[in-house]
Amino acid sequence: MKTLKQLQSVAVVAVLMWMLASSALLPLRNSEKLDCDSRCNCYRTWIKFRQGYEHIVEMRCTHLNLTDDHLPLPPKLSWNTSTSLYLENGTIPFLSNTTLSVYSPYKIVILSLKNNAIEYVAKDAFGNLMPLKRLDLSQNIIPEGILKEAFYGIALTPLTTLNISSMNLQTISDDFFKHLESIDNFELIFLDNTYMFPMTALMRLNHMTSLDFGGNNLRLIHLHNASFTSLRYLNLDNNHLYDFPDFCFKESNSSRFPNLQILKIQWNGMRYIRQNNYNCLISLTHLYLNGNLFQDLRSNQFSMLPNIFKITLSYVGCAMHNIERAVFNNSKLKQIYFRENHIWFRKAEINLRVFEGCSSLELLNLNDNVFQITSEDEFNTLLGDLTSLRILVMGGNGLRFIPRVITEKLTNIESLALYANSISDLKPLKNMTNLKRLFMGSNHITTLDESSFQLLRRNLTEINLSGNPFSCECNIYWFIEWMRKEPRIFGFKKDPKLMLSYKCYSPGDLHGHSLLDLEMSDITCLLGMDVKVTTLTLSILLIVFLVTGAVMYRYRWHIRYFIYMVRYSQRQEVDTREYEYDVFVAYSAPDRPWVIKTLLPVLEVKENLKLCVHDRDFEVGKLIVDNIVDAIEASRKIVIVLSNEFAQSEWCQFELNLIQRHVLENGQRLLVVVMLEEIDTRHVTKAMRAMLQTTTYLMWGEEEYARKAFFNRLRMLLRRVTRRGWARRLSI
C-alpha cells in the first residue's frame, strides 16, 4: 500500500507533466482527422485535464488575417463536444465584444490566440465563452491597462489557466489582477515580460495554485508579508536572482508558501543557498536548482525539508569550492540529479560522504563528473550506504572499471547507465540479478563472455552496448544471435538506426562492418577435430599438474620429513661417549618464552631428554664464557634457536662463534638449527650465512600439521642412537 505522502508525490509529478503538456498544447493519444474550414486542420482527439482525459474536437488555424477574413468555424459535431481552438501566428489586431461571439454556440474549452499582433481587447471580449478553461494570449502587444480590463470578461468563465507570456509588460500596477481575485485553482503563466513586478499585484491571486514566472530579469523578490497558501507550483527560472529568496517568516518560523510542492529556481546565478530561507517549506517535494553558481554546499543543506522527494543540482560545478559531508542528508529523499558539474571527487575540499544519510535514495545521476582516478575504497565511501538505489547513472565519468561497490552492495539496482566511459570488462555485472536496464554504450568493450550474461538475460528488458570497439571473432557469435532474436530489447524497433552503431573494430578485414551483417554460423565457429584433441590433451595435462601441485603443497611438511629421514638414516653415526646433557639450547632472551613453554615440555617431559638452558643450568658466579664452553663440551647435541633478536644480539653472535668452532672440530652432525621466523637480510652475518648454507635447518610453522612435522624431525635428530637402534630401519 502506498502512503499518503507517496501518493501526493505521484500527484505532483502528474501535475507537472500536465503543465508541460498544456504549455505545448499538443493533442494526446490517437487522433482522427475531420473535415473543416480549408484554412485549418481539425481532429477528434483526447486532451488531459485535471479531471482526466477528455474526448474533444481540435481545430488549428495559422496565419489568419482578420482584416480580410472572417473567423473559421469548427466542425458542427463540436456543438455538443468540447473544442480546443488554436488561432495562432496571424493578424487579429482587434478583439471587440462581438469578435468571438461566433464561437458562443460551441463548447470552447481551450482558446489560443498566440502571436496575432493583438493590440486591443474589449472588456467583455471573452464573456461569451462560458466553458473556457485555458486561454493563451502570449506574444501579443496588448497594453497593460487594456489587458487589465480584459480580465473582467475572463473572470466570467471557469478559467483555470492563463498564459500572458512574452507581451512586453514592463510596468504592472498593483491592481493588475483585480478582476481575477475570485478565481479558484488558478494557474498563471507569466514568462519573459518585465524588469519590475510588484508582488502586491500577485497577492490578489490568493487562490493561485501555479505560477510560471521565469525569464523576467528579476534581481530581487520583495515578499514582505505576502502569503500564498494555495500555491503548489512556482517557477522562477532564468531570472537574475543572486541570493536565494526568503520564503519564510523569520519571526514565527512559518512559511509564506505552506503548500508549495514544486520550486524551480534555475539558471539565476545565485552564489549562496541559505538554508533558513527555505527550510520552512514543509510541503516541498521537488526542488530544482540547476545552473546556479553556488560556491559551497554545507552539511545537512536539505535535512529540514520533511517531504522532499527530488533535488536537482546540476550545471553548478564550475564555481564550486567546497562540498561538505552529508550535504543531502535526508531519509525522505528519493532522487538526486548531480550531473554536468565536472567535479573531481579526489580533491581534498570535496567530501566523499556527500550522500551520507540518504537511506531511501532510489535514483542518483552523476553524469559528467570526474572519477578517472578514484579508487575502489573511495567509491565505497561515496556510494556504499546507498543500498536502496534502483537507478544509477554515471555516464562520461572517465571510469576504467565497474566499481565493486555497485556489484556487491548496490544489489537493488534495476537500471544502470555507465555509458561513455573506458570500461572493458562486464564480468562484474554477472551477479546483478535485479538489473533490468543496462546502458554501456561508447566504452572499450571488445568481447562479451556469454556466461556473464546467463543470469542477466533473464531479467533484462533494455540494453544498449552500441559504439563499442567489438572484436568480431566467434566468441561474439552468441551476442549477434541474441540481437537478431530480441531486437526490441536492444531498441532496434524504436530506432532502427541504432543497429548501425554496433560495428566491428577488429580483425582488420572486418573493420567498420555491422555486427548484424556478419555471416557467422555454428558450423564456421566449430573447432576442427585435431585442434579439439590437442586442446583436450593439454587441458588434461594442466589439470593433472595442478592437482599434483596442490597435493604436494598440502602435504609438503610430510614429504620434506620423509626425505629428510631417509637421508638421515643413511648417515646416522653411533656416538658411545657419555654426556652430562643431551642437548645444549642457545637462544636470545626475547625467545625464552618459546623455549620454556614450547620446546622444553616436548623434549624433556615427553622425550625424556636432558636439556641445558642457560637461565636454569649455568653455574652461578662462573664466567659466562666458561659456562658456554663447558655446556657445549658437556652436551651431545647443540640446538640454536634462530630469530631476528638472536641475529641482533652481540652475546648471541659470540655464542654462535664458539658453537661453530666446536662443530668444525667435532662434526656437523652435532648442530641442529631451529628457525623461528624469516631473518631480515640486514641482520644476517657472515657466520650465520655460512651456517645456513651448510646446515639443514628446521622451520617453525603456525599450522598444526607443520608443528607436528617439526617435532617429528627434531625428535629424530636429537634422540640417543645405539648400535642396535642404528641397525633397525626407520618407519615413517
**Mean local confidence (pLDDT), 635-653:** 89
Residue type, 436: K
CB contact at 8 A, 204 and 225: no
**Residue 665: half-sphere exposure toward Cβ, Cα within 13 Å:** 8
**Mean local confidence (pLDDT), 140-169:** 92
Query: What CA–CA distance (Å, rounded) separates 521 from 714?
Result: 66
Confidence of residue 465 (pLDDT cuts 50, 70, 90): very high
Q: With residue 617 as reference, give the H or E element that holds it.
A: helix 614-617
Confidence of residue 21 (pLDDT cuts 50, 70, 90): very low
Query: What CA–CA distance (Å, rounded) separates 720 from 574?
Result: 9
**Mean local confidence (pLDDT), 417-446:** 94
Q: Which of 69-83, 182-196, 461-475, 641-655 has the highest mean pLDDT?
A: 461-475
Closest Cα partner for 488 from 468, 462, 516, 464?
462
DSSP 8-58: HHHHHHHHHHHHHHHHHT--EEEEEEE---TTEEEEEEEEEETTEEEEEEE
Closest Cα partner for 426 from 407, 443, 448?
448
Q: Is the pLDDT of residue 422 over 90?
A: yes
CB contact at 8 A, 510 and 472: yes
Position 14 scores a pLDDT of 40
Cell (9 digits) for 722: 645405539
Q: Return the percentage of the chain with pLDDT > 70, whole number.
A: 88
Q: Is the pLDDT of residue 16 over 50?
A: no
Closest Cα partner for 295 from 318, 267, 266?
318
The count of other CB atoms within 10 Å of the CB of residue 630 is 16
Coil, strand or helix at 523 = helix
CB contact at 8 A, 474 and 520: yes
Confidence of residue 155 (pLDDT cuts 50, 70, 90): confident
Q: With residue 691 as reference, give the H or E element that holds it.
A: helix 686-694
β-bridge partners, 189? 163, 212
Q: Which of 182-191, 523-532, 550-559 has the highest mean pLDDT?
A: 182-191
Block residue for cell numbers 579439439 = 532
DSSP letter assigned to residue 719: S
Closest Cα partner for 491 from 459, 463, 457, 453?
463
Q: Is the pLDDT of residue 728 over 80?
A: no
Q: Is the pLDDT of residue 45 over 70?
A: yes
Position 30 scores a pLDDT of 61
pLDDT digits (tens, 9 = 90+) for 524-534: 665 444 555 67
Cell (9 digits) for 727: 641397525
Cell (9 digits) for 682: 640486514
Closest Cα partner for 189 from 159, 158, 219?
159
Q: With residue 163 as reference, give the H or E element that holds it.
A: strand 161-163
Pairing outcome for strands 161-163 and 248-249: unpaired
Cell (9 digits) for 441: 554504450
Q: Is the pLDDT of residue 156 over 80?
A: yes
Confidence of residue 3 (pLDDT cuts 50, 70, 90): very low
Cell (9 digits) for 699: 622451520
Q: Is the pLDDT of residue 731 over 60?
A: no
Q: Is the pLDDT of residue 11 over 50?
A: no
Query: What CA–CA distance (Å, rounded) separates 236 from 32?
Result: 38
| 286 Cβ neighbours under 8 A, 6+ residues apart | 12, 13, 16, 261, 262, 263, 309, 310
DSSP 340-395: S---BTTSTTB-TTTTTT-TT--EEE-TT-B-TT--HHHHHHHHTT-TT-SEEE-T
Mean pLDDT, all residues of the chain: 85
Q: Which CATH code for domain 572-727? A: 3.40.50.10140
Query: What CA–CA distance (Å, rounded) separates 173 from 197?
Result: 8
Cell (9 digits) for 175: 491592481
β-bridge partners, 264? 235, 288
Q: With residue 715 as reference, give the H or E element that holds it.
A: helix 704-718
Query: What CA–CA distance (Å, rounded) separates 80 from 24?
Result: 25
pTM recorded for the entire structure:
0.68
Cell (9 digits) for 65: 488575417
CB contact at 8 A, 439 and 414: no
Block residue for cell numbers 507570456 = 165
Cell (9 digits) for 227: 502569503
Q: What is the 3-state secondary structure of 598-634?
A: HHHHHHHHHCCCCEEEHHHHCCCCCCHHHHHHHHHHC
Rounded (10°) angle between helices 704-718 and 556-571: 10
pLDDT digits (tens, 9 = 90+) for 208-239: 999 999 999 888 887 767 788 999 999 999 99
Q: Is the pLDDT of residue 702 over 80?
A: no
β-bridge partners, 613? 585
Position 495 scores a pLDDT of 93
Alpha helix ranges (H) inside 466-507: 477-485
Position 333 scores a pLDDT of 98
Confidence of residue 455 (pLDDT cuts 50, 70, 90): confident
φ, ψ for residue 61, nearest 5 deg: -130, 135
Domain boundaries, the chain: 572-727
φ, ψ for residue 16, nearest 5 deg: -60, -45
Query: What CA–CA distance (Å, rounded) separates 488 from 273?
Result: 45
Confidence of residue 367 (pLDDT cuts 50, 70, 90): very high
Query: What CA–CA distance (Å, rounded) separates 289 from 269?
Result: 10
CA dihedral 269, 272, 276, 279 (to 10 degrees): 60
CB contact at 8 A, 403 and 376: yes
Cell (9 digits) for 611: 636439556
Confidence of residue 164 (pLDDT cuts 50, 70, 90): very high
pLDDT digits (tens, 9 = 90+) for 479-531: 999 999 999 999 999 999 999 999 999 998 899 999 999 887 766 665 444 55
**Mean local confidence (pLDDT), 367-385:** 94
β-bridge partners, 28? 46
Confidence of residue 42 (pLDDT cuts 50, 70, 90): very high
pLDDT digits (tens, 9 = 90+) for 189-201: 999 987 677 777 8
Burial (CB count <10 Å: 0-12, 13-18, 19+), residue 344: middle
Position 253 scores a pLDDT of 79
Rg for the chain, CA atoms, rounded: 44
β-bridge partners, 175? none
Pairing outcome for strands 335-337 and 310-312: parallel
Coil, strand or helix at 118 = coil
Q: With residue 95 as reference, give the H or E element that holds it.
A: strand 94-95
Task: Give whole-number Cα distances, 36 to 26, 117, 439, in Å.
Answer: 19, 25, 47
CB contact at 8 A, 82 and 106: no
Q: Is the pLDDT of residue 1 over 80?
A: no
DSSP letter assigned to residue 607: S
